[in-house]
C-alpha cells in the first residue's frame, strides 16, 4: 500500500507541475492570448495596407490607360486649364471681410506732402 501512496503523490506533483506550465509557462495561456492579440492587430494593419495598395494599383492603371486621369490630376493638383477655358476661383466668405490697411501717418493728420 505504501507504493500506491508514493505513486499517487508522484502523480499529484506531476499534475501540479503541468498545470503550472500550462498557466504560467513560456507557452502558456497568457502567451497565447498575447500572440492572438498581436496577430489580430497585424491582420487589421494588413487589411488597411491591402486597401491602400489596391487604390494605388487602380490609380496606376488609370494613369497608364489614358489621358483622362492625367488631365484630372493636372487640374486638381496643379491648377492647370486647357487653352480657351476660363478659370474661376470660388472663395468662401466665412472668414469675414478682409482687414483694412492702415492709412499712412501723414494723411491721418491732414498734412500735405
pLDDT tens digit sequence for 30-57? 888 889 999 999 999 999 999 999 999 9
Residue 59 neighbours by CB under 8 Å, 6+ apart:
69
pLDDT tens digit sequence for 52-78? 999 999 888 877 887 877 787 788 888
Cα–Cα dist 10/41, whole Å: 43
pLDDT tens digit sequence for 5-38? 889 999 999 998 888 877 777 777 788 888 999 9
Judged by DSSP in three states, 79 sits in: coil
**E strand or H helix that includes residue 8:** helix 2-24
Per-residue exposure over 70-102, b if at least 16 CB sit within 10 Å of its own CB, e if not: eeeeeeeeeeeeeeeeeeeeeeeeeeeeeeeee
Is the model's pLDDT at 111 over the cut of 60?
Answer: no
What's the pTM? 0.42
Cα–Cα dist 48/50, whole Å: 5
Amino acid at each position: 500500500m505504501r507504493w500506491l501512496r508514493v505513486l499517487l503523490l508522484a502523480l499529484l506533483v506531476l499534475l501540479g507541475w503541468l498545470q503550472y506550465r500550462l498557466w504560467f509557462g513560456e507557452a502558456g495561456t497568457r502567451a497565447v492570448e498575447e500572440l492572438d492579440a498581436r496577430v489580430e492587430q497585424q491582420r487589421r494593419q494588413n487589411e488597411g495596407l491591402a486597401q491602400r495598395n489596391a487604390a494605388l494599383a487602380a490609380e496606376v492603371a488609370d494613369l497608364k490607360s489614358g489621358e483622362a486621369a492625367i488631365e484630372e490630376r493636372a487640374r486638381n493638383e496643379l491648377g492647370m486649364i486647357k487653352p480657351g477655358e476660363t478659370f474661376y476661383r470660388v472663395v468662401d466668405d466665412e472668414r469675414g471681410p478682409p482687414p483694412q490697411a492702415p492709412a499712412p501717418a501723414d494723411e491721418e493728420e491732414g498734412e500735405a506732402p
